[in-house]
């Protein structure tokens, strides 16, 4: 999609708090965040064919809203390998200015390798082990 079209769509998606990128079960994930004491804005599904450019554009949409205080990335690597997603997230964050905490939960194919990549990057990612853990951590960074 053309970047401007993506941005126009994004204006109606993000309201405040923290979006969830790639929500396979978006309602379930948003409910978990609410149970942890958070108030999610909405979600952005970058799809199974996500690449660095897709992730970068997703961040641009999310960060265009000044009310966004944190980003929760929840990826289940069934269609796409988690290490590829992690590399895309790292490269996207390195290429744009991100001034909010980023909590990342990766499960599925090559999730362990992806976690190591995130931990070894020069970016201060908060890595979560489960969706419940991610919800607790994103709410925690908002209260810190």
Give the max Cα distance, the chain.
37
Tell me which of 123 and 25 has the higher pLDDT. Answer: 123
| Mean per-residue pLDDT over the chain, rounded | 76
Residue 66 sits at φ, ψ, to 5 deg, of -65, -10
State pTM to two decimals: 0.77
pLDDT in tens, 66-120: 878 888 888 877 777 888 888 888 998 999 988 889 999 888 889 999 999 999 9
pLDDT in tens, 6-16: 343 332 222 22
pLDDT in tens, 30-78: 777 777 877 777 667 766 666 778 888 888 888 888 878 888 888 877 7
Q: SS3 of 21, please?
A: strand
- Domains for the chain: give ranges and CATH numbers: 3-143 (3.40.50.261)
């Amino acid at each position: 999609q053309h970047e401007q079209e993506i941005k126009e769509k994004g204006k109606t998606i993000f309201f405040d708090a923290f979006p969830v990128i790639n929500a396979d079960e978006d309602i379930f994930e948003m409910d978990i965040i609410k149970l942890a004491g958070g108030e999610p804005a909405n979600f952005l599904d970058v799809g199974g064919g996500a690449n660095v450019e897709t992730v970068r554009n997703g961040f641009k949409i999310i960060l265009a809203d000044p009310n966004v205080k944190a980003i929760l990335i929840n990826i289940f690597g069934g269609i796409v390998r988690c290490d590829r997603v992690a590399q895309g997230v790292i490269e996207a964050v390195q290429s744009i200015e991100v001034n909010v905490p980023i909590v990342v939960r990766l499960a599925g194919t090559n999730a362990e390798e992806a976690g190591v990549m995130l931990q070894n990057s020069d970016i201060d990612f908060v890595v979560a082990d489960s969706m419940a853990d991610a919800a607790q951590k994103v709410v925690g960074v908002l209260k810190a």
